[in-house]
Amino acid sequence: MPRFLGKLYVQVIIGVLAGLILGVIYPHFATDLKPLGDAFIRLIKMVFAPVIFAMVVLGIAKMESMKELGRVGSRALIYFEVLSTLALALGLLVVNVFQPGVGMNVDPTALDTKGIANYTAAAAKPATFVDFLLNMIPTSIVEALAKNDILQILVFAIFFGVALSHMGKRAKPVVDVLDAFCNGMFVIVSMVMRFAPIAAFGAISFTVGKYGLGSVMSLGKLMACMYLTCFAFVVLVLGPICRAAGFSLWKFLRYIREELFTVLGTSSSESVIPQLMRKLENAGVSKPVVGLVIPSGVTFNPDGQCIYYTMAAIFIAQATNTPLSFTDQLVVLGVLMLTSKGSAGVTGSGFITLAATLASLGTIPVAGMVLLLGVDRFMSEARAITNTIGNAVGTMAIARWVGALDREHLRKVLDGEVVSEAPQPAEPEATQPTPILRHSAGA
């Protein structure tokens, strides 16, 4: 029993259950525990930007050629676009079949929009596609790191990694320093992760204490549709992708269970990204692919967010009796294909993106978002978990696609035969960078 209770995911489950009970019994006290979850997120974000930067730079610097970078990057973008579009379409299909908002007959002009003022203010200035591209370029890398702006960090890290790759042996001291720095960051992550059960307890206590289980029951049909759709996406879409890549979805989920339970407790997929990157590398994915795909996947492959966007938008239209033709819904889908890109894994970003999307469409009342306030936090768990699973599976699939996955080592890890880290090759010579295909065995 002590050995079982010593497992992190078990402790997180206990924290979640304790938070649920406390939120129901002592709601006023439970709402005061919000800082526990917030502190954990801040601790993770403290190392998030440095880890992303170092991993991307090291991944590119150790590639055999820039041709490999283009090959991995282009296939990753194709994968992300296809999967996020499937997620949007699946959400649109389910919300039209079950119609959770029909019959609510809500008058949008009578809604109190004070609760969404912060979100609508943040989305008040809708960015064009050109603005989005310009915003990818950091005015200062220090500012980008300070703001944890994933896209800007990614852009600078790619440039820096390419520069180091072109420098050859002269870049070896910088690469060695970044390698040691990255390992140090992962040690910090390991220490921070021990606080995950306390963070889950505080976050769930606050959520239940503030919004109550009654808010869940009042919009239970939408909640059920959201969770059902996320489950269907994981099983029916990601499942076949796992089989095509040569591994079992169930075994893979069991392998990353600690990260998934942490996401469940904190409602943030960002909270486990550093640990997830290390775990995928240990499972047999080459470091360059992990370093490039995971950070970009956070921005360009938010599968759970995409499901939420279409379901929430159409739900508001149904609840407010806003007529939408099939063409109108296709327009919603098309706009969301653009606006969904760039949403990170932080709780609340989905609400802001949805507000910006509805404002740009002009057909669905933004005021209807008030209806989602009571359950948005509960649905964020489904979004975050689906984002995490989708990003992890996507990294494995892309690694398999480009021949950068050690399938035999992965099989041993998923079967529990190997619990140690993936074997690392000897340090490459300065003139011989580590090839991206070093894990091509069995591909």
Residue 316 lies in a domain: yes
Overall average pLDDT of the 248-277 stretch: 87
Residue type, 87: A
Domain residues for the domain of 75 are: 2-419+434-439
Q: Dump pLDDT digits (tens) for 294-347.
A: 888 877 888 988 898 899 899 988 888 888 888 888 888 887 877 676 554 444
Within a domain: residue 241? yes
| CATH at residue 279 | 1.10.3860.10
- Taking alpha carbons only, the member of 321, 345, 381, 370 closest to residue 120 is 370
Is residue 155 assigned to a domain?
yes
Q: What is the mean pLDDT of the chain?
A: 80
Q: What pLDDT, on the 0 to 100 scale, is given for residue 127?
A: 55
Q: Is 427 part of a structural domain of the chain?
A: no
The answer to whether residue 321 sits within a structural domain is yes
Q: Is residue 27 part of a domain?
A: yes
Query: Could you count the other beta carbons within 10 Å of the beta carbon of residue 176?
Result: 11
Confidence of residue 269 (pLDDT cuts 50, 70, 90): confident
Distances, alpha carbon 17 to alpha carbons 10, 213, 223, in Å: 11, 14, 19
333 within domain boundaries: yes
Q: Which value, to the nearest 10 degrees, does the dihedral of the CA atoms of residues 137, 139, 144, 146 take?
A: -170
Listed range (171-175, 205-209, 432-436) with the worst mean pLDDT: 432-436
Give the count of domains, the chain: 1
Q: What is the pLDDT of residues 213-258, one digit of tens each?
A: 655 555 678 888 999 999 999 999 999 999 999 999 999 999 999 8
**Residue 162 counted as domain residue:** yes
Q: Decide if pLDDT at 125 tops 80.
A: no
CA-wise closest residue to 302 among 278, 268, 279: 268
